[in-house]
Amino acid sequence: MHNNKNKTIKYFQYSMLGLVALGSQFFHAQTTHLDSINISSVEKDIRINDPYISFFQPLDFSRTTFQYSSVKQNFKRVQTAGETGSFTFKSEGVYKLNDKIALSGRLKADKTTEEDVPYILSDERTTNSSFIYNPSYYWVPRSARWQKQNYFISGQFAYNPVKPVILQLGGEGLYAKSYRQNADPRPKVDDYKYKAFAKLGLKWKQHAIFGKLSYVHHYKGNDIMFVNMKGNVPANDSIYIRYNEGYGNQYIGNTEYKTSEYKMGGYIWGGEYAFNNGSTHFSAGYDYKNLIERFYRVFEYQDAGFNWHKDYTKYSGLKTDLHSFYLNFLGNYNGKKWASMVTYQDQLDTNYNYPLEYRSYRLEQKNLFWQNSVIWFNHKNEAFKILFDAAYGKNHVKDASVVMDRKLSFFNYRLGAEKEFALKPSHKIMVGLSQNLYIPLEKEFNYQPYQSTKENIFATKIAQPDFAYDATPKIGLNFNASYIFDQNKIRYELYGSFSQTWLMNSTYKNQVDYNGRANHVALVGLNVYY
């Protein structure tokens, strides 16, 4: 069985690489079918997610990106890299083959090096989230360098066989590999995600009703290398393995387990109403996601005949119920192109310990996202774009195992503008400026050790500093510029961006050792539109 699993994993790896190669050729084939290369990121996402829109508002586009980015975080959540460098290749687009068939897809491959990542032996990070969603994982205090690789592919097929029927079929896959490079123990993490989805609609004139169904599968194997029963003991604190269960539960040493596995499966169903004509797309929908992620401890041993065996113990689980409501809008009026996306999510996570048969961890989370863009052109064909994004979030984490109660609500926004300047008909310079602000609204953190006078390392070294980070308002500024030139219906864009973020009070500084400097992100790259 183990050999069959390895064969399946190898097959998936080679399939992913093959699909990336084939997909890049597919996108290249769209060159001669270009209708427009001026499209906002909001409109791009809406059209890739629903290629059937091309039946009503034809717009073929493709973009291939080569990018390098560098991130320096002087203040951060604990289980996040202090410095990150990433090389990324990405290709995406929509192509209407004929009046009955439209296609869309995404390809992405990146290689990332992370410096100074402490208190975690998994590949999850808290860069864009206040917590690790599944609180069952191994960790050690010692910071380390990580090497991460990610390969992602997705594709959709929209079919209009007869006038009243629209069918969309699609799938996506992710393969990721991560290594902890310069500290013992050094885990190797293999991460596989699969998703298949279908969308069937009936339309009448400009109106349509859809039903949706998706299947989701996720497998993650964590191989903790260099585990030594004699040398890896609590006295050697920086490399001694702990196992975390719950957001702030007492740590447990588990050096006898060399590997662990996560298996997640579930489904998504929903419905949608859509209105489409030559200048307007509007859709409103609902999705319900039900997922169960289980954590397995794997004990490996050798029998008298020197044959290796593995015993799997189902130790803990995490159940997720997620309700999503969304609105999408595309409009083209009087030379102005409008795009807007609104999403509301209501999520509930609970954990379960199978051997002890109890629950201790509960996460309640609500999020509202709003993304907007408006773009128009003057008589010189110079584009002017206005961007506005806003979000509201509220989360409540409760862990009975250590009597911890964490509440946070926040608001953030980004406001920006971009302007093109024509040098000559096929050459332009674009400059942009945006400002963002994060404001915490409700802040509450209560913690007490359970049946012990000793402080919990996970709570004091991770949970409390992370809450101080989340409870501190932040302001940021971004400047971006690009040089654009068009040739034979292909647009080449050399671009660069630099952004900085500052803390607005001393809440975080009073909790951790902080040097007072700003965070910054710098990136350079090449976009090819065709």
**Domain ranges, ordered by start, for the chain:** 37-529
Regions in the chain scoring below 50 on pLDDT: 1, 16-35
Query: pTM for this structure?
Result: 0.89
Which pLDDT value is given to residue 35? Answer: 42
DSSP 459: I
- Tell me the C-alpha distance between 508 and 476, whole Å: 16
Neighbour count for residue 529 (Cβ, 10 Å): 21
Q: Which residues pair with 106 in a beta bridge?
A: 92, 154
Which pLDDT value is given to residue 358? Answer: 86
**pLDDT tens digits for range 302-359:** 778 888 888 888 989 999 999 999 999 999 999 899 999 999 999 999 999 898 888 8
Which pLDDT value is given to residue 147? Answer: 96
Distant-in-sequence, close-in-space partners of 194: CB < 8 Å, separation ≥ 6: 171, 172, 173, 216, 217, 218
138 neighbors 241 (Cβ within 8 angstroms): yes
Which pLDDT value is given to residue 445? Answer: 93
Amino acid at 323: H
Which pLDDT value is given to residue 451? Answer: 56
25 neighbors 487 (Cβ within 8 angstroms): no
Amino acid at 77: R
Pick the closest to residue 369 from 339, 386, 389, 395 (CA basis).
Answer: 389
Tokens found for residue 368: 């509202």
Continuous segment of H or E residues that includes residue 103: strand 101-117
φ/ψ of 250, rounded to 5, equals -60, 140
- Tell me the C-alpha distance between 443 and 433, whole Å: 31
Pick the closest to residue 68 from 530, 429, 496, 478 (CA basis).
Answer: 496
- Tell me the C-alpha distance between 359 and 107, whole Å: 39
Pick the closest to residue 119 from 150, 149, 77 (CA basis).
Answer: 77
Which pLDDT value is given to residue 27? Answer: 45
Neighbour count for residue 124 (Cβ, 10 Å): 17
For tokens 């409009």, what's the residue? 331
Tokens found for residue 26: 């597919």
Q: Which SS3 state, helix, strand or coil, does residue 427 take?
A: strand
What class, spelled out in words, does domain 37-529 have in CATH? mainly beta
CA 60 vs CA 24, 47, 104, 155: distances in Å: 16, 10, 10, 15
**pLDDT tens digits for range 122-174:** 999 999 888 888 888 888 889 999 999 999 999 999 999 998 999 999 999 99
**Is 346 exposed, middle or buried, given 0-12, 13-18 or 19+ CB atoms closer than 10 A?**
middle
- Tell me the C-alpha distance between 121 and 220, whole Å: 13
**Is 302 exposed, middle or buried, given 0-12, 13-18 or 19+ CB atoms closer than 10 A?**
exposed
For the chain, how are helix, strand and coil distributed in percent, rounded to 5?
Answer: 10, 60, 30
3-state SS track over 229-296: CCCCCCCCCCCCCEEEECCCCCCEECCCCCEEEEEEEEEEEEEEEEEECCCEEEEEEEEEEEEEEEEE
Q: Number of C-alpha atoms within 13 angstroms, CB side, residue 233?
A: 4
Amino acid at 289: K
Which pLDDT value is given to residue 136? Answer: 86
- Tell me the C-alpha distance between 349 and 366, whole Å: 12
Which pLDDT value is given to residue 252? Answer: 66
